[in-house]
Amino acid sequence: MLGRLAGRDRCDLVSDVAQPVVSRVIGSFMGVPPEDDADWARLMNAALAVGDPDMSPRGVETLLQDSIPELFERCRWLIAERRERPTDDLTSLLVHAEVEGERLDEQEIVMGFFLLMAAGNDSTKATYCSGMRALLEQPAQRRLLLQHPSLIPSAVEESLRMFPAFAHFARTATRDTELGGQSIRRGEKVVMWYASSGREEDRYAEPDRFDVRRNPEHQAFGAGGRHFCLGTALARLELRVLFEETLARYPRMELAGVPTWVVSTFVNQLKSLPVRLAPVSAAR
């Protein structure tokens, strides 16, 4: 994807790099043909950012009348195809899997497919773009990575801490407890704000400062337990490679406009990140 930018002076890191990269990676796992990547990305964006007028123009109406029906139709076509001609992709795995001797029904397959496609199309894109914005706004931090590429895995963790892809998730308390002086009863809903937990003053020194040397522990992937993110290893690999290749090819990249955010209370990500590439050849 970065190679396709050759000869260009500017691009948008969200639409020109991050989105097509993550769409192809998860698409390759799910057995989606490359020519369908953009359509699946459109559907996932509309479903997760239902409040954004660009991604879901009529809000919930767009979701219910357009996005969900198209998503199910595309899914059912893939499911039927894999039933007849199974391959080595994850869609085939879902279609032919057995749990206690029983196959998953179509709705279970569709929801499993949707979960994997939504997470794969969204989370890594969000953290990469926010991390790159931080590096573009703080040249000293970028210089550290250029001088010491071994710090890139640490920069990935710092990006995950400061810029989790999702703002919150809800869980149900399994027993009575107390947290931070707040009584929580069994069965009550508890909302976990990842954006807040990553900036907890009691845990992180200067929590609002982006520091690629910090290498923090964080809760961006769910902090373990039964809800730990299935794609953790893949996400870290994607982020590391994206940072490595972007910095190596365009070490003098600059912001070329005001970044804009997706309008959402759930996803925590940029909608556009315009940059001037300023490639190495120009610097010479």
Does this model's pTM top 0.95? My answer is: no
Which pLDDT value is given to residue 19? 97
pLDDT in tens, 4-38: 999 999 999 999 999 999 999 999 999 999 999 99
pLDDT in tens, 99-125: 899 999 999 999 999 999 998 988 899
Position 183 pLDDT exceeds 90 = yes
Task: Report whether 192 contacts 171 (CB < 8 A).
Answer: yes
Position 265 pLDDT exceeds 70 = yes
Which pLDDT value is given to residue 195? 87
- 148 backbone φψ class: left, alpha, beta (φ>0; ψ -120 to 50): beta
Which pLDDT value is given to residue 281? 53
- 224 backbone φψ class: left, alpha, beta (φ>0; ψ -120 to 50): left
Position 284 pLDDT exceeds 60 = no
